[in-house]
Structure 1
Amino acid sequence: MSLSKNFKMMSLYNQRINSQLMAHCLTLPSETLEKDTHSFFPNIISYWNHILFGDLILMGRLASNNIANLSPLDLSAFPKPGSPQDLYHTNLLDIALLRTQVDALLIRYCDNLTEEDCDRFITYTTTEGVAITKAVADVTQHIFNHQTHHRGQLTCVLSQAGINYGCMDLPVIVAEGSR
């Protein structure tokens, strides 16, 4: 499977899993969403905020290089990730709306991504202020790895809260990916 085809599959998986987990989280009372998880992030709301913040930073780096027809204009309606505090939302409905919009944009980006795009290199400044050059494929892969990593932490917290969030197996969730 080519990288671009893999990223298209991952964008669909990403959207479906985010939607599935968010639907469960939206049923939780505020006390549960804001309760100290004694984990990497202090509460469930913080997990969702961090995943969203990471996506917008990474997509901004790609957009500033006009990769796969993604431009800075595409991100203009979203909060500007200057610092985590700029994105922090306390209302899960606000996060859910933004999450849906970012996932749709990520699908569009991956639908337009070519093998040639994947082989390109971009230079950007990290959040620590360091200039770095990376392959577009590496940056795109990191979007999915970052989300998967933190969703894994989130599902542990949800399990501890007694939430059965359902199947998360890639071949089951995105069956068309194997074609």
Structure 2
Amino acid sequence: MKAHFLMFAHYNAWANRRLYAAAGALADADRRRDAGAFFGSLHATLNHLLVTDVIWLARLRSIQGPPWGLDHIAHDDFADLTAAREALDDDLIAHVRDEADPAGTIAYRRVSAPDPVVQPVAEALAHLFNHQTHHRGQCHAILTRIAGEAPELDLLFHQREAAS
């Protein structure tokens, strides 16, 4: 099971690099324009993904995460956001490879609710990577609408590239 999640950690980093490269080609105003996504703009959606991954990685490590809301803008500057995303993706890969025990459990409290939560690590990792895919799809749609095209992000393309 660990190999399964490690593949998703690598896919996650690959897809984020492709998405950020395409987003970086846009004008800053286009990245910040409300595009009707759940978090509004491409910039806000990318921040949401970073914020949630920081929170989940803290939970997976059994440490207190930041008290951010899910709409928190962790990095207003796109270059800073990109650098933070790349570092976080590297950290997620390292965590899954070296620390995560998919058979274990984690315990945490959400910022929005005081009740303690105990959850299997495998379920938390599945959520983290599925959540990324969900919101990257929104980012892909925004990019397609603004730029007329967006990069291929399908897992199958990552797997073929990794195999070659």
Tell me if both proteins adopt one fold, taking TM over 0.5 as the criterion. Answer: yes
Q: Name the CA distance, whole Å, in 1 between partners of 2:29 and 2:157.
A: 33
The equivalent of 2:102 in structure 1 is: 118
Q: Name the CA distance, whole Å, in 2 between partners of 1:44 and 1:17.
A: 15
Pairs within 5 Å for 1:1-179: 3-64=1-62, 81-84=66-69, 87-113=73-99, 117-128=101-112, 129-175=114-160
3-state SS of the aligned residue for 1:97?
helix
**Matching residue's letter, 1:130:** D
Counterparts in 2 of 1:163 and 1:94: CA distance versus 1, 3 Å: farther
| Unmatched tracts of structure 2, length 5 or more | none
3-state SS of the aligned residue for 1:125?
strand
Deviations 1:63-109 (A, max 9, x none): 12xxxxxxx5xx9xxxx621237653221111000000000001111
Q: Name the CA distance, whole Å, in 2 between partners of 1:20 and 1:177.
A: 14
8 A contact 1:25–1:33 mirrored in 2: yes
Counterparts in 2 of 1:38 and 1:171: CA distance versus 1, 3 Å: closer
**Matching residue's letter, 2:108:** Y
* TM-score (structure 2 length as normaliser): 0.89
Q: Name the CA distance, whole Å, in 2 between partners of 1:87 and 1:164.
A: 26
**Percentage identity across aligned positions?**
29
**Matching residue's letter, 1:33:** R
Q: Name the CA distance, whole Å, in 1 between partners of 2:34 and 2:73.
A: 20
**Matching residue's letter, 1:25:** A
| Unmatched tracts of structure 1, length 5 or more | 65-71
Q: Name the CA distance, whole Å, in 2 between partners of 1:43 and 1:169.
A: 22
The equivalent of 1:69 in structure 2 is: none
Q: Name the CA distance, whole Å, in 1 between partners of 2:8 and 2:142.
A: 23
* TM-score (structure 1 length as normaliser): 0.82
Deviations 1:23-66 (A, max 9, x none): 011111111011111221121110111000000000000112xx
Q: CA RMSD in A?
A: 2.1
Aligned length: 161
Deviations 1:110-139 (A, max 9, x none): 11256xx21111211012222111001111
In the TM superposition, structure 1's runs of 4+ consecutive aligned residues that sit over 6 Å from their partners are none
8 A contact 2:22–2:151 mirrored in 1: no
3-state SS of the aligned residue for 1:37?
coil
